[in-house]
Amino acid sequence: MQIGLVGLGKMGGNMRDRLRNAGHTVIGYDTDPEKSDVASLADLVNQLQAPRTVWVMVPAGGPTQHVIDQLAGLLKPYDTVVDGGNSRWTDDEKHAEELSKRGIGFVDAGVSGGVWGLKNGYALMVGGEKETVDRLLPIFEALKPEGPYGFVHAGRVGAGHFAKMVHNGIEYAMMQAYAEGWELLEAVDSVDNVREVFRSWQEGTVIRSWLLDLAVNALDEDEHLEGLRGYAQDSGEGRWTVEAAIDNSVPLPAITASLFSRFASRQDDSPQMKMIAALRNQFGGHAVESAKKA
């Protein structure tokens, strides 16, 4: 299958490689000419055969809106735009309506997998009309992990990004729990090998997970996380999850507390946030801030 891919950063570039490894033809465009296969969005569209599919992997908000506005003027009826970034689900509804006026289909795809997706595959949560989603199944099959899991048609437009938002909210709470446990272990005199305690949990325990594996990786690189500042950003999806919970009268105490803990990390050098920052770097390649030397 042939597909255009806009945005060739840490995830987009690896997705291009995974699709090509599966035998698909990918024409990529990025504002960085060294990464791009073509000189412009217009060139990308012109090289695709109808009906065209263009997958957008750029930051949510203004950048995504800008790309979709451009594609709306370049694509034709029966073409499809896939937004694979971390857009808010309400933006999906707006984009779908704008594109449908021109006969262009729209699919929102929540994508999880970070910098490990090229090797392990990407978990995909997709929203859109069944006919459009079904046409793109070869692309989804190539991107997802091997086996029966890792892809879901979650519902109508917006459902994919809503599901990914909730996924990220759960991720916030899980990372917070590991971070709190790690800080408590580091604080007591009786435990003198915290890293190996974490490693021992990787098999046979009810809290084993990929995030735990990544925590061990981070501790192998810096046993006491002394090189990191206790500061962790939030992508915005944690905030949206809490807002959606309020709108729907659903209590989310753990997720809400984990979000507020990130806000607290910006006020002082939080030990817990060193672990959160390390985990975000491990799975997503997110930037970390180095500890200031005295």
DSSP conformation letters of 238-253: HHHHHHHHHHTT---H
CA 247, 249, 250, 253: dihedral to nearest 10 degrees? 90
Which runs of E-coded beta strand occur in the chain?
2-6, 25-29, 53-56, 80-83, 105-112, 123-127, 151-155
Residues 76 and 17: their CA atoms lie apart, in Å, by: 27
Catalytic residue among 76, 98, 164, 243: 164
Strand partners, 139: none
Cβ(139)–Cβ(89) under 8 Å?
no
Active-site annotation holder among 35, 98, 131, 171: 171
Please indicate whether residue 130 is annotated as part of the active site.
no
Verify whether residue 164 is a known catalytic residue. yes
In terms of Cα–Cα distance, which of 146, 173, 141 is closest to 253?
173
Catalytic residue IDs:
164, 171
